[in-house]
Amino acid sequence: MIALIFRDLRIAVRAGGGFGLSLAFFFIIVIFFPFAIGPDLHLLSKVAPGTLWVGALLACLLSLERIFALDFEDGTLDLMVTSPLPLEGVVISKAIVHWLTTGLPLVFLTPFLGVLLGLQNSNVIFLIISLIFGTPALSIIGTFGAALTAGMKRGGLLLSILVLPLYIPTLIFGAEAARRGIQGFETQTSILLLSGVTLLSWAILPFAAASVLRINLR
């Protein structure tokens, strides 16, 4: 499993593609938003949690199609099915790599973009915490969606339609946790709910995604 993670990390870094494109897309969304809403820093700081969370969600969505596509096309996925590593382990490995190459860089980029949206340095920490707890859920849910559309030609639109409704609880609790922290309210309830969504997703979806992959590979 560790070897598979390092293999996919090397492929992601060498190929670029979804890795760099997701970060660029996230950066562009946040940079262009102040031009659309105006220079009012007070207003920008109020909408910053939602803006950054929607940007992170869409950036994660942009790189989902590549999770299984290349392995399906060159036959590597068929070999993974017959390997000693359970298919659930393959799914978990793919989700971890997606988070390391997309979710984690978004977390590191958030402090700089939060300042551009008028957030004080002391408030950016709440956004970082919510993204750390929430982006793993985006990765595993997206991996499940990628498994559903594996082998489909031009399945990107269908993947988006399938995954976006599943992203809504993570988006709601993540943005709410960041908003409440920035406004000085307690965040424990929102963080616990966000963590619950993430843990439940990682407990159930690897098995569901593995079952779907077995069906698609028959």
In 3D space, the residue among 195, 192, 191, 172 whose CA is nearest the CA of residue 181 turns out to be 191
Tokens of residue 174, six digits? 């993540």
Residue that is written with structure tokens 């300042």 in the block:
115
pLDDT in single tens digits along all 218 residues of the chain: 777 787 777 777 776 555 678 888 888 888 888 888 877 778 888 888 898 999 999 988 888 877 887 777 777 777 777 777 888 888 999 999 999 988 899 999 888 888 888 888 778 899 999 999 999 999 999 999 988 887 676 667 788 888 999 999 999 999 999 999 888 888 899 999 999 999 999 999 999 998 988 887 77
pTM: 0.90
For residues 209 and 191, what is the distance between their CA atoms, to the nearest angstrom?
Answer: 26
Dmax (CA) for the chain in angstroms is 58
For residues 13 and 71, what is the distance between their CA atoms, to the nearest angstrom?
Answer: 16
186, with CB counted inside 10 A (0-12, 13-18, 19+), is: exposed
- Sign of the Cα torsion 174, 178, 181, 183 reads negative
Question: Domain spans of the chain?
Answer: 2-216
